[in-house]
Amino acid sequence: MISILALRARIARGELSAEDAVRRALDAIEEKDPAIGAFVTLDREGALAAARKTTGPLAGIAVGVKDTIDTADMPTEIGSPIYRGWRPKADAALVMMIRGAGASIVGKTTTTAFAHSDPTGTKNPHNAAFSPGGSSAGSAASVAAGMVPLSFGSQTGGSVIRPASYNGVAAMKPSYRLIPTAGLKPYSVSIDTLGLFAATVPDVAFALSAITRRDFAPLGRKPRIGVARQIFAGPPAPECEEALHKAIDALTAQGIAVTDLADPPEFATAWELQPVLANVEALHALAWEWKTQRALMPPKLSKSLQWAETLSIAQFDEARQAGKRARIAAHDSFKEIDAVISYSAPGMAPALSENSTGDAAYNRLWSLLGTPCINVPGCRASNGMPVGVQVISRFGQDATALSVAAMLEEALRT
């Protein structure tokens, strides 16, 4: 993988121009992407031109953008034939922030249709017989394959953290609305959150700081860590339990106190009702597609929308209320701790033959809560596939989450 910080250091030392750094990414895409299929659209000339004319903090950083995010100069197809060749009028807010920080958008990355769970054709760079997960499939795979040092995706269930875990890359779903969502095709406006993928946690922190112009100050002391096993979400694969144990041991070895946390009862209810809120909101957001283009809607998405149609307004309101109550409970839960560690996913990347993007079981609660979540890579299952560990902090404490995740990443290396 390509580290943003390492690449920026080389550019700063004059060893490489920003344009050459972007050209190398484009060459890597040309070489590797035919086997992986992470990109839908490429803009070689636009990316090089951007690299020539900028001096921003991300100059020379080639970026992949999930194809649910509007770009004025490239099609935005949302993983669906309904949007084939569609050109939005304006760039999404995030796209303008990426360009404003001096990065070069090299192309749009594959997404499941409307960021749901019908698999893309993208392969997992660690083993082409496996899925990269979804919905931000191409964004995770493009970083994992060393094609680009940075990519962006979005999460409503587990569409950032889960593919990051499957592909062995660092990734973050920041606090809800830390990255503005204007220009993202919505699935569930109350939950949809933009996030990013990079080689390491410090790379993620640097890029997020550059695009949001926020400082993420290090914690400056040993964190207090809780372990959340999310019993309500069912048990994980043994490899994921093992990764969590490794994380606990690595932190404990650094003299960091790690304690088991009891989940407040509001969490189980919110976890259970998150799909109600998400899919009823999707029924609103995708009403035009669902009513007028039904034959082109893929099977898993169609099943979710059909299910949403059976839900009552009372059930929808109950789900919104459950989210609100769980957010209050989460605020209290984080009083004594800086971060929670948990599983990133219940298992490793599914085999392509399973026709699945994996399971968001350990992500969807936090997506609903709007808390910052980070996938820390570094573990591997016996089949060679990556397994991540998830770090979660209180809403708005993105700096703390990044600080703890960086410590954990470092601890897992030693």
Residues identified as active-site: 66, 135, 159
User: 246: which 2 tokens?
Assistant: 């490794």
Which residues, at least 6 apart from 306, have a Cβ–Cβ distance to it below 8 Å?
Answer: none
Q: Does 388 engage in binding with a copy of itself (CB under 8 A)?
A: no
Q: Looking only at residues 288 through 347 of this chain, which bind a copy of itself when binding is defined by CB under 8 A?
A: 288-289, 291-292, 313
Among 25, 39, 69, 83, binds a copy of itself (CB under 8 A): 83
Among 48, 97, 247, 411, binds a copy of itself (CB under 8 A): 97
- Asked if residues 272 and 325 have their Cβ atoms less than 8 Å apart, the reply is no
260, β-bridge pairs:
227
Angle between helices 265-285 and 313-333 (to 10 degrees): 130
* Dist. CA 377–CA 169, nearest whole Å: 6
* Dist. CA 313–CA 317, nearest whole Å: 6
Q: Does 287 engage in binding with a copy of itself (CB under 8 A)?
A: yes
Among 27, 30, 86, 296, binds a copy of itself (CB under 8 A): 86
Among 91, 263, 359, 398, binds a copy of itself (CB under 8 A): 91
Q: Does 351 engage in binding with a copy of itself (CB under 8 A)?
A: no
| Nearer CB in complex with a copy of itself: 214/294 | 214
Helices (H), strands (E): how many in the chain? Answer: 14, 11
Of the candidates 369, 408, 411, the one whose C-alpha atom is nearest the C-alpha of residue 389 is 408
Stretch that binds a copy of itself, among 48-56, 57-65, 89-97, 156-164 (CB under 8 A): 89-97
Stretch that binds a copy of itself, among 90-98, 144-152, 163-171, 258-266 (CB under 8 A): 90-98
Q: Looking only at residues 115 through 154 of this chain, which bind a copy of itself when binding is defined by CB under 8 A?
A: none
User: What minimum distance in Å lies between the beta carbon of 217 and a copy of itself?
Assistant: 13
* Dist. CA 389–CA 353, nearest whole Å: 25
Among 93, 268, 351, 381, binds a copy of itself (CB under 8 A): 93
Tokens 């082109």 found at: 296
172, β-bridge pairs:
196, 374
Q: Looking only at residues 208 through 237 of this chain, which bind a copy of itself when binding is defined by CB under 8 A?
A: 212-214
User: What minimum distance in Å lies between the beta carbon of 317 and a copy of itself?
Assistant: 8
Give the amino acid at 379. C
* Helix intervals (H) in 173-215: 201-212
Stretch that binds a copy of itself, among 216-224, 264-272, 284-292, 405-413 (CB under 8 A): 284-292
The distance in angstroms from the start CA to the end CA of the chain is 19
| Nearer CB in complex with a copy of itself: 104/124 | 104
Label residues 164-187 b or e (16+ Cβ within 10 Å = b). bbbbbbbbbbbbbebbebebbbbb
Q: Looking only at residues 99 through 118 of this chain, which bind a copy of itself when binding is defined by CB under 8 A?
A: 100
Among 33, 281, 359, 409, binds a copy of itself (CB under 8 A): 281
| Nearer CB in complex with a copy of itself: 11/194 | 194
Which residues, at least 6 apart from 302, have a Cβ–Cβ distance to it below 8 Å?
Answer: 294
Q: Looking only at residues 174 through 193 of this chain, which bind a copy of itself when binding is defined by CB under 8 A?
A: 177, 180-183, 186, 189-190
* Dist. CA 207–CA 219, nearest whole Å: 18
# binding residues, a copy of itself (CB under 8 A): 32
Q: Following DSSP, what letter does each residue of 379-401 receive, concatenated?
A: EE-TTS-EEEEEEE--TT-HHHH
Using CB under 8 A as the criterion, which residues of the chain lie in contact with a copy of itself when the complex forms? 72, 82-83, 86, 89-91, 93, 95-97, 100, 177, 180-183, 186, 189-190, 212-214, 281, 284-285, 287-289, 291-292, 313
